[in-house]
A = this chain, B = another copy of it.
Amino acid sequence: MILSLDAMGGDQSPDMVLKGVQVARKRHPDARYLLFGDESVLAPLVARESGLASVCEVRHAATVVGNDEKPSQAVRRGRDSSLWQSIQAVKDGHAAGVVSAGNTGAFMAMAKLALRTLPGIDRPAIAAIMPTARGDCVALDMGANAECSTDNLVQFAVMGEVFARTVLGLQNPTIGLLNIGAEDQKGTETLRQAAALLRESTLPIRFQGFIEGDDIGKGSVDVVVTDGFTGNVALKAIEGTAKLYTSFIKGAFQSALLPRLGYLLARPAINKVRMRTDPRRYNGAMFLGLNGIAVKSHGGTDALGFANAVSVAVDLVTHGFNETIKGEFMKVQRASGVAPGDLERAANG
């Protein structure tokens, strides 16, 4: 398996990317990497890190997409960038997937343009894995589409279900549509229509209906479906709260001598919680619905976080995520004689 990496994306690149590959190559001994970026910078770094040369190949890319660059600008002017070149490698069949810690908007815009969406999918979604009281869940869309149609939401549900089944390894994962109440009449017309379609459709999925914001942490469902605006706000609100509570608890332990001593005694147990909720463990937002695997790492992550994003890409490739999606949509079409888009059009008139 070959993955292409944008070696210049992220706050600590390219160092963080190369150290990340060091971690990843022990986890995935069969994987090989195409590193895109300034060759004069990358080649000596690869040579210096022992063992890297045997799994990496440097490919020159002259420019870097800046973090503040607008996606539309990046797409127009950034064809010789490490980001575009690393995506292009997937399009050209030289790599099975791409990982970048660079500009999210530019990454999504370029990936959409170069890779196009899978048959049956109108728009790609950003998916993230989150900790819950009942194990991990997957949530989408986390920010690719600020406004979503009923069709988009139904397609996200199908993609999320396949993800939970293939990558998280869950049998018969449950699906919930994020809303402001569980009752049928709650929320927007788009949400009510999406719920009706998911309830009535012949799709082989376990749709649980509407869920609320606190159901995410409870683990009430395995797949959380929402539009990109709500999803992005919720994801960041959750991350912010996790940080706030961690700092409150940290402050409490450091407040006096006895709590400090108490911390020493409880440290192994607390470290377990820290590992369980480590943001690096959940690093790697997947762009689902494209003809090619694309994973976005947090820009501010370290080598371990980047390695985890690489592992997410490896998982998506290994479990044949895209092939399964294609199969699902063909099944839907065969079973009903219509594509999900037709279902909505039929419901509307």
CB pair B233 A213 closer than 8 Å: yes
Interface residues of A in 143-188 (CB under 8 A from B): 143, 146-147, 178-180, 185-188
Q: Of the listed stretches A16-24, A235-243, A333-341, name the one at the interface; the rest are far from the partner chain.
A: A235-243
CB pair A266 B259 closer than 8 Å: yes
Q: Considering only CB atoms, which chain B residue lies closest to A180 in the complex?
A: B232
**Which residues does chain B contribute within 8 Å of A261, judged by CB atoms?**
262, 265
The quantity of this chain's copies bound in the complex is 2
CB pair B147 A244 closer than 8 Å: no
Question: For the complex, what is the distance from the CA of A213 to the CA of B233, rounded to whole Å?
Answer: 5
Q: Considering only CB atoms, which chain B residue lies closest to A276 in the complex?
A: B248
Of B187, B246, B259, the residue contacting A245 (CB under 8 A) is B246
CB pair A269 B240 closer than 8 Å: no
CB pair B248 A258 closer than 8 Å: no
**Which residues does chain B contribute within 8 Å of A234, judged by CB atoms?**
213, 233-234, 237
Question: For the complex, what is the distance from the CA of A253 to the CA of B272, rounded to whole Å?
Answer: 11
Question: For the complex, what is the distance from the CA of A265 to the CA of B256, rounded to whole Å?
Answer: 10
CB pair B229 A180 closer than 8 Å: yes
User: Is A212 interfacial (CB 8 A cutoff)?
Assistant: yes
A sample of 11 inter-chain contacts (CB < 8 A) reads A212-B233, A213-B232, A214-B237, A215-B240, A217-B241, A234-B234, A238-B238, A249-B273, A253-B266, A258-B265, A262-B266
Instruction: Other than A214-B239, A259-B265, give 5 A-B pairs with Cβ distance below 8 A.
Output: A143-B180, A146-B188, A230-B230, A248-B273, A262-B266
